[in-house]
A = this chain, B = another copy of it.
Amino acid sequence: MTDLADLRLTPQRMAVLEVLRAADDHPTAAEVYERVRRTSPRIGSATVYRTLSLLVSTGRALELNLGDGAAARYDANTCRHDHAVCDGCGRAVDLDHPVPDGMMAEIARRSGFAITGYDLQFRGMCPDCQANSSDPARAAGGTGPTVNTHAKGALHAEA
């Protein structure tokens, strides 16, 4: 990967990068901020946001938009990978799955696009939340996330 030579390695940036590298989950910027403050209490949130986008734009981190409209998440695992997102607890686990190369070529051919990449997330229930599906209490460590209402109804006109 790109080396850090072209970056000014300030203590704040170092702290952010270390927090991100130590994270096994996929923390949001706010979570990174919170963790960085434990070792660098004087850091400002603007610096964390700035550093995260710097890391992303230089290929040292990935920004994940898991599609639920929530905050962006950051991933120090820069190898191309996709995620499975739990509708219950919001956890996102890494997927190391084979991507059919022919599929992207086919899409490019049929759409006329010059495809440069793709984002793919699976959604479902993680094993923990499947076990606790009848229990309204949160799974271990779960940050009360997305209440997914899949109720169906019918619009009926009376006029």
Question: Measuring CB to CB, which residues of chain A are less than 8 angstroms from any residue of chain B?
Answer: 4-9, 13, 53-54, 56-60, 62, 65, 67-69, 72, 80, 84, 86-87, 93, 95, 97, 100-101, 103-108, 110-127, 130, 141-142, 144-159
Contacts and interface: CB of A to CB of B under 8 A. Distances in A.
Given A111-B84, A147-B108, A53 B153 contact: no
B155 A58 contact: yes
Contacts of A146: 114
Nearest to A152: B59
A122 B130 contact: no
Copies of this chain assembled into the complex:
2
A156 B7 contact: yes
B80 A108 contact: no
Given A107-B84, A122-B107, A116 B151 contact: yes
6 contacts: A7-B156, A9-B159, A97-B106, A116-B141, A116-B149, A118-B120
B120 A125 contact: no
Contact of A125 (B116, B123, B126, B157): B116
A7 B107 contact: no
Contact of A65 (B65, B86, B155): B65
B110 A86 contact: no
